[in-house]
Amino acid sequence: MQIQYILEVIGTGFFAISGALAANDKAEPDWFGASFIGFITSIGGGSLRDILLGSYPLVWVHDINFMYAIFIGIILASMFFKVLIRLRKTFFLFDTVGIAMFTIVGTEKALSLGVHPVIAAIMGMFSAIMGGVIRDVLTNEIPIIFKKEIYATACLTGAVTYLTLDYAGLERNVNFLLSAFIIITIRIIAVKKNLSLPKFNRT
């Protein structure tokens, strides 16, 4: 079993936890409501990627293990809800690890389908951020990509790093872990140091 597959399943579970916590943070949904947000957060980005690339069946339809990861994530979010809500850094960590894994998995999948590396990097970024964007819209939050935080940029940087190291011939698993680590590092430093890109409107 490849490390990419294992990490993609784990990342799916992390996103399910993130989505379920976000749902409870805004309201008091029942199990179905929280599960729905967790499910959409987990599969939204990857599904959009596969649809744009014409890759069918969608990964979560083809492989039941992704559904198991989502269910486990939602159950864990419920069991440890009070602890996780108090630990806001944990919520941030789940989201960060999730976007790192999904970025590289999405980039690699796009490459395997023969698209241009530039498109592969964009698909990797889409895989990572679009589930969270859909989550934010459904929970009546401003999507994080419209906030000052460095989020999508970290994903794009990790995707470009992966493509560069892949071109240089770095071993696949090492490249995967290193590129994901770069995304996590950029995101953590940006949040801790309150770093952001320049505003579009300079007036």
pLDDT, one tens digit per residue, over 129-184 is: 999 899 888 888 888 787 767 889 999 999 999 999 999 999 988 999 899 999 99
Query: Which structure tokens are listed for 146?
Result: 């419209």
User: Tell me, what's the pLDDT at 88?
Assistant: 61
User: Taking Cα atoms as reference points, which of 93, 78, 95 lies closest to residue 35?
Assistant: 78
User: Tell me, what's the pLDDT at 90?
Assistant: 64
Give the Cα separation of 189 and 198 in Å (integer).
17
Locate tokens 């159950």: which residue? Answer: 75
Collapsed DSSP state (helix, strand, coil) of residue 105: helix
Taking residues 8-32, report their average pLDDT.
81
User: Tell me, what's the pLDDT at 26?
Assistant: 64
Higher pLDDT among residues 116 and 79, named by residue: 116
User: Tell me, what's the pLDDT at 64?
Assistant: 94
User: Tell me, what's the pLDDT at 42?
Assistant: 92
User: Tell me, what's the pLDDT at 65?
Assistant: 95
Give the Cα separation of 71 and 193 in Å (integer).
35
- pLDDT of residue 25 exceeding 70, the answer is no
User: Tell me, what's the pLDDT at 20?
Assistant: 86
Give the Cα separation of 72 and 16 in Å (integer).
8
> Where residue 89 falls among pLDDT bands split at 50, 70, 90?
low
Q: What is the pTM of this model?
A: 0.85
User: Tell me, what's the pLDDT at 91?
Assistant: 67
Contact between 23 and 139 (Cβ < 8 Å)? yes
- pLDDT of residue 1 exceeding 70, the answer is no
Taking residues 115-122, report their average pLDDT.
95
Q: CB 159: neighbour CB atoms within 10 A?
A: 29
- pLDDT of residue 99 exceeding 60, the answer is yes
pLDDT, one tens digit per residue, over 30-80 is 888 889 999 999 999 999 999 999 999 998 998 999 999 999 999 998 888
- Burial of 135 per CB tally in 10 Å (0-12, 13-18, 19+): buried
Give the Cα separation of 49 and 41 in Å (integer).
14
SS (H, E, C) 113-157: CCCCHHHHHHHHHHHHHHHHHHHHHHCCCCCHHHCCCCCHHHHHH
